[in-house]
Amino acid sequence: MTLKVAIQMDHISLIDIEVDSTFVIAMEAQKRGFDIFHYQPANLIMKNTRLFAWGEPLKLKKDNASYFQLGSSELLDLSEMDVVLMRQDPPFDMSYITATHLLDHLASKTLVVNNPTAVRNAPEKLFVTEFSAFTPPTLITSNHDQVRLFRSQYKDIVLKPLFGNGGVGVVHITAEDENLNAILELFSQHIPEPVVVQKYLPAVRQGDKRIVLIDGKAAGAVNRIPPKGEARSNLHVGGKAKKATLTDREQQICEQLGPELSQRGLIFAGIDMIGDYLTEINVTSPTGLQEINRFDNSCLEADIWNAIEQRLENFL
């Protein structure tokens, strides 16, 4: 099957090909002989009810010095694509949300991965609240008195921006820390949305595990160990990737979440686990493929394309 694939992403020149998941997904598409096109979200254009984008044909190779080649810019009719991959990075802001509304217009013509309606309705730190049986004690509020009451109950807490990403703005406040009020003031001044407050999980010192699910099935995992003196495990802030397997509880959680993810058209998702607790469900632009591939000698991008092609058999 020869497919036309458009990738909506931040500019290809900005990625690190050693870790980027979009890169290996695109490389696998190229390996299968698909025609690949690249465009940025800002280049989406709606004319009446038809959706276009200014983009370029894309060729890739595994060469850090020269890993991509873009053809001449052209106006792409996205309804003529077989697949659009929505792979731009957060933040989950109004620009991101607008892109999902525009892509909704392709619903009967082009398979969009992940489903834009489902992505819009599943911001990471809110979607996870639908599975509260697996999550740590959590508060979402703009009310500072409620935050202080939560802290008095659980002592050690973690504050997160509701629509943040990549660990930016995540703060660990201990029972003795005197900075809570000042931090809440900063959040109020710079972040209009409510704040997420969770009970601090000491198990984070053993790692924050990313589990990749492909069309609702657990496909692999990588543990991310925070560096000394850091509460965050994100790899780009110094976390170290370690080989991981799933515990019985993690498998149980995946079996509970998986059918819901698949039913919503969230083909590529990543869930985050600290100890026995589910902390986030990532569906906007999940990562972790290359780390898991290296540890498990796997090719998760091939599994993603197998799932997409299976969907296309029922979609087209």
**Which amino acid is residue 158, in one-letter code?**
V
Residue tagged active-site, from 210, 223, 250, 303: 210
240-243: strand order across its sheet = 240-243, 217-225, 208-214, 268-274, 277-282
Residues 6 or more apart whose CB falls under 8 angstroms from that of 95 comprise 41, 42
Question: Is 32 noted as a catalytic residue in this protein?
Answer: no
In the set 151, 199, 224, 264, the catalytic residue is 224
280 tagged catalytic = yes
Catalytic residue among 114, 165, 234, 282: 282
Active-site choice (232, 291, 301, 303): 232
Report the alpha-carbon distance of residue 118 to residue 138 in Å, rounded. Answer: 23
Could you confirm whether 293 is annotated as catalytic? no
Among residues 272, 291, 301, 303, which one is catalytic?
272
* 151: annotated active-site residue: no
Distance separating alpha carbons of residues 46 and 50, to the nearest angstrom:
6
Residue 291 appears among annotated catalytic residues = no
Angle between helices 289-296 and 300-315 (to 10 degrees): 120
224 assigned to active site: yes
- Catalytic residue from among 109, 125, 199, 264: 125
Q: Are 45 and 64 in contact (CB under 8 A)?
A: no
Catalytic-labelled residue, pool 87, 109, 120, 160: 160
Q: Is 282 a catalytic residue?
A: yes
Residues 97 and 120 sit within 8 Å (Cβ to Cβ): yes
Output the CA–CA distances (angstroms, integers) from residue 189 to 186, 295, 311, in the order listed: 5, 42, 45
Please say if 250 is a catalytic residue. no
Alpha carbon distance 259, 268 (integer Å): 13
Candidates 20, 250, 280, 303; catalytic one: 280
- The catalytic site residues sit at 125, 160, 210, 224, 232, 272, 280, 282
